Amino acid sequence: MILDRSHDSVARFLHEQARHELKDRERVQALKLMELQRHSMLMYTSCGWFFDELSGLETVQSIQYSGRAVQLAQSLFYEPKIEDEYLNKLASAHSNIAEHGDGRKIYENFVRPAIIDLDKVGAHYAISSLFESYPPQSQTYCYQIHQEDHTMLSAGKSRVSFGRIRITSDITLDSTRVTFGAVHLGDHYVTGGVREFTDEQIYKDSAARITKAFESGDFTDLIRAIDVAFGSGSYSLKLLFRDEQRKILQIILNSALEEAESSYRQLYDSRAPLMRFVAAHGIPLIRHFQVAAEVTLNAELRRAIEAENLNVDLVRALMEEAKAVHVNLDAPTLEFALRRKLETMAEEWGSQPLDLEKVVSLEAAVRLARSFPFEVRLWEIQNAYHSVLVSSANGNKPHGAGCELPEWNQSFRSLGEQLGMLMS
């Protein structure tokens, strides 16, 4: 059953092993007891306790297993002191690194923040719902989430999300209904809360107050309404699961970057002729204008490279403009974007190697890449070229309407030269 957590597998196991047909509550309790036993065994993973540092990765992992065992034990036996007793024992184990202190401190710093319960899953859902749309039924790691009601309101950078969901663990089948609310006022300013669902009318009244406060633009009243309805602002971006946290922070950073680029672009566009004139006469550019030019032209180059259809002439024109105003190209970012574009084009060509248009486009793109003042890694494109070369040597020649053999051969040979391939 451990390797197959599907509902059918669990139901079959419990039917075979239980003395009577289990009720829902009994089923959850049985699964929690077995999960407690599993983590009690996992926490004795021998390699975790034979290392000489308590804060090491292996030992912390063993303590995390014990943390889950403690969490389940407290839930099953309604004994809140289990964790305190365990931490008192951990405190007697000392780290060799002074800043980590002892086992208790390591538990509190590395293990407790990683412990997840249904409320924490609900809070994760609440905050992430500000930035992405969830379907009625979704999966977050080992939790099924059924969306019963959801409202999203937005005005400029501000938005509020609130609703009601049911969360069910795939591991223990433990389930709860919660109401949630979260507000984003721009950048990383996010706050929200989660509360167990108790009454439909209370939920509707809270939703009405939140909607009224948001629509009136009274954000102080809005945050107060969120706090009253769902808890006192105890959740923020820090709560999100790590992968989701990085994704949402990237969304926020991209938005901030777009605004900055727009401001720099306005400055550059209005002063570009002056900058070219100054640069042409060998006069050092004012630093403020230089920064605007670098941000703007590097961003324009990246967008031109990442466009669905690579416009070689546009990229060359932007490079000439950057050269004219002495802009330093953002080599790591542009190399990565150009390499990804070339690899995509090579993959498409590899699926239709006899397509004359594709080989011509790829040859032009590689020629463009070699004109940049930094090296672009081309080994993926070289591998694709070699595969087509071997296939061509075996008699797989181009054919079909609009595909003349001499033109294909010429473009193919030119591509090989650009890639530095030895031609027989």
Taking the C-alpha atoms of residue 157 and residue 130, their distance in angstroms, rounded to an integer, is: 11
Residue-by-residue DSSP string for 240-299: S-HHHHHHHHHHHHHHHHHHHHHHHHHHHHHHHHHHHHHHHTTPPPPHHHHHHHHHHHHH
Q: What is the pLDDT of residue 400?
A: 41
124-139: pLDDT as tens digits = 898 888 888 899 999 9
Contacts of 305 (CB under 8 A, 6+ apart): 315, 334, 337, 338, 341
Question: What pLDDT does 234 receive?
Answer: 64
What is the rounded CA–CA span in Å between residue 25 and residue 32? 11
pLDDT of residue 138: 93
Grade residue 71 by pLDDT with cuts at 50, 70 and 90. Answer: very high
User: Looking at residue 371, what DSSP letter applies?
Assistant: T
pLDDT of residue 232: 58
Q: Which 3 state secondary structure label does DSSP give 150?
A: strand
In this prediction the pTM is 0.68
Residue that wins the pLDDT comparison between 76 and 394? 76
Q: How confident is the model at residue 179 (pLDDT cuts 50, 70, 90)?
A: very high
Banded model confidence at residue 396, pLDDT cuts 50, 70, 90:
low
Residue 35, pLDDT score: 94
Per-residue pLDDT at 268: 83
201-211 mean pLDDT: 91
3-state secondary structure 79-138: CCHHHHHHHHHHCCCECCCHHHCEHHHHHHHHHHHHCCCHHHHHHHHHHHCCCCCCCCEE
What pLDDT, on the 0 to 100 scale, is given for residue 237? 76
Does position 386 have pLDDT exceeding 80, yes or no?
A: yes
Q: What is the pLDDT of residue 224?
A: 86
- Take residue 123 and report the two structure tokens written for it: 């809070």
Exposure string (b/e) for 261-273, b if CB count within 10 Å is 16 or more? beebbebbeebbe
Q: How high is the pLDDT of residue 424?
A: 57
Quote the pLDDT of residue 394: 61
Average pLDDT rounded to a whole number, residues 354-368: 91
Distance of CA 124 to the CA centre of its chain: 14
pLDDT digits (tens, 9 = 90+) for 8-43: 888 888 888 888 989 989 999 999 999 999 999 999
Parallel, antiparallel or unpaired: strands 137-140 and 143-155: antiparallel
Residues 274-295 have pLDDT tens digits of 888 887 888 887 788 888 888 9
Look-up of token digits 């546009």: 314
pLDDT at site 403: 47
pLDDT at 304 over 90: yes
- Torsion angle in degrees (nearest 10) through CA of 417, 419, 420, 424: -60
**What per-residue confidence (pLDDT) applies to 393?**
62
Q: Alpha-carbon distance 254 to 267, whole Å?
A: 20
Q: Which of 43-47, 174-178, 247-251, 391-395 has the highest mean pLDDT?
A: 174-178
Amino acid of residue 202 = I
Q: What is the pLDDT of residue 399?
A: 45
Query: What percent of the chain lies above the pLDDT cut of 70?
Result: 95
pLDDT score, position 401 = 39
Any idea which residue has 């594709």 for tokens? 358
User: Sign of torsion, CA 283 288 294 300?
Assistant: negative
Predicted local distance difference test score (pLDDT) of residue 397:
56
Q: What is the mean pLDDT of the chain?
A: 87
User: Side chain identity at 350, as an amino acid letter?
Assistant: G
Alpha-carbon distances, residue 370 vs 33, 42, 101, 303 (angstroms):
63, 54, 55, 19
> Minimum mean pLDDT among 103-112, 225-234, 298-307: which range?
225-234
The label of the residue with tokens 């009577």 reads: 20
Does 253 have pLDDT greater than 70?
A: yes
**Is the pLDDT reported for residue 150 higher than 60?**
yes
Task: Using a pLDDT cut of 90, give the percent of the chain over it.
Answer: 42
Strand order across the 158-169 sheet? 137-140, 143-155, 158-169, 175-184, 190-196
Token digits for 281?
A: 């006469």
Q: What is residue 402's predicted lDDT score, i.e. its pLDDT?
A: 41
In this model, does residue 346 exceed pLDDT 80? yes
